[in-house]
Chain A
Amino acid sequence: AQSVTQLDSHVSVSEGTPVLLRCNYSSSYSPSLFWYVQHPNKGLQLLLKYTSAATLVKGINGFEAEFKKSETSFHLTKPSAHMSDAAEYFCVVSDRGGYNKLIFGAGTRLAVHP
């Protein structure tokens, strides 16, 4: 069965410094992987997705993620944090067993300090 583990529940960075949010997955299939972001009191928004094309995926707002099959990882990075990046981030794997349901990680809350 597919599963997702987000290795940090909270990450705190200073504005202008790099962001790294870590995600490991478990999948019996070649997975489709996503990162979603949720700003306070807002719905979830797709940041980026990997669907077996290029292993380095670029998303919105300067975020990118690299699919590493050997490490079963899909870490999210951004070179320089902005105050507006403060939000909760979810790593998600698609369950190809049926209907391509999404399986969510527990989330990582990113705080950005001036």
Chain B
Amino acid sequence: DVKVTQSSRYLVKRTGEKVFLECVQDMDHENMFWYRQDPGLGLRLIYFSYDVKMKEKGDIPEGYSVSREKKERFSLILESASTNQTSMYLCASRVSTGNYEQYFGPGTRLTVT
């Protein structure tokens, strides 16, 4: 079974803090994705990576950055957390750029106070 894990299920941070969300997949997938999920908005793509050290902006990259130094790990970074970044963050991975299934982690619910 493909497994995508995220470092924390729940996280509480203060405004202005630097926040790291980590995602690890164990199936040697090339592509990895970060989404945020908000009620009534579905999932929105923040950033994705199609290979190691490669990244592409998604639909809502402002206020976020990413890092992919190893194939199995994809990190989302909030340089200076703000209250409007309070959300559920979901990581996913996929085998290639074809129309293949994305496998999702359990999510990290981040609260910024």
Contacts and interface: CB of A to CB of B under 8 A. Distances in A.
Contacts, number: 49
A43 B40 contact: no
B45 interface: yes
A37 B86 CA distance: 23
Interface in B33-71: 35, 40-45, 48, 50, 56, 58
B106 A43 contact: yes
Given A90-B42, A104-B42, A99 B104 contact: no
A45 B56 CA distance: 24
A94 B94 CA distance: 13
Contacts of A83: none
B42 A44 contact: no
Interface string B87-113: 000101000011101101111000000
Given A94-B99, A99-B48, A43 B104 contact: yes
Top 9 A-B residue pairs of the complex, sorted by shortest distance between their CB atoms: A104-B42, A43-B104, A44-B104, A32-B99, A104-B43, A106-B42, A43-B106, A46-B101, A51-B99
